[in-house]
Amino acid sequence: MSAVPPPPFRVRIGVRSYEMDVNGHVNHAVYHQYGEHARMEHFRAAGLSQHALGAHGLTIVLLSTTVHFRAELRAGDELEIDSVIDFSERKPFTMSHRIVRVAAGDGTRTDDLSAEVQCTLGVLDTTTRRLAGGPYGRLRAAASDPSLLGPGPRDALLGRPSD
């Protein structure tokens, strides 16, 4: 029997007027900020605040990020940003986000995929200033709610829950 993957972690935000570019839609760089917000909220919900990570001599670093734009966003739109973590046996791990407009600025309900954000991250050992091996295990040990990290690399491959 294969494990059912956990649902994506989700946050909601509203598009603010100061995030607009000269064309009247969200500036391209702001999509990266939306992804960052979802990542930080996901880690915070798992109990991985900077303070909690620091107590374990760790921090999380962003190694790369890519945004694929699908539909424009405008001031007043309401967004839902999900986040899914994928661990492998390697030091880097990935986090994916879908930015979905759930309501237009006029209140009309929508379900428009606006962007997809792909990030590569690592767990940095703050003493050695090097990426730490076994990021899933290290984050799981520091988390107060490790279930929000999703399955570990071997668990995902074997189709079993990580808890």
Q: Which domains are delineated in the chain?
A: 11-142 (3.10.129.10)
pLDDT at 161 over 60: no
Q: How many CB atoms lie within 10 A of CB 29?
A: 10
Predicted local distance difference test score (pLDDT) of residue 61? 98
Q: Is 90 helix (H, G, I), strand (E, B) or coil?
A: coil
φ/ψ of 132, rounded to 5, equals -90, 140
How confident is residue 7, by pLDDT bands cut at 50, 70 and 90? confident
Tokens 């954000």 -> residue: 117
The string over 45-70, giving b where at least 16 C-beta atoms fall within 10 Å of a residue's C-beta and e elsewhere, is: bbbbeeebbeebebebeeeebebeee
The CA angle 31-36-39, to the nearest 5 degrees, is 130
**Contact criterion met (CB below 8 Å) for 109 and 117:** no
Q: Which amino acid is at 50?
A: Q
pLDDT at 32 over 60: yes
Q: How far is CA 109 from the centre of its chain?
A: 24
Model pLDDT for residues 106-131, shown as the tens digit of each residue = 989 999 999 999 999 999 999 999 99
How confident is residue 8, by pLDDT bands cut at 50, 70 and 90? confident
Structure token pair of residue 111: 């379900």
Q: Is 73 helix (H, G, I), strand (E, B) or coil?
A: coil
Q: Is 35 helix (H, G, I), strand (E, B) or coil?
A: helix
Predicted local distance difference test score (pLDDT) of residue 156? 45
- Residue 137 class from Cβ within 10 Å (0-12 exposed, 13-18 middle, 19+ buried)? middle
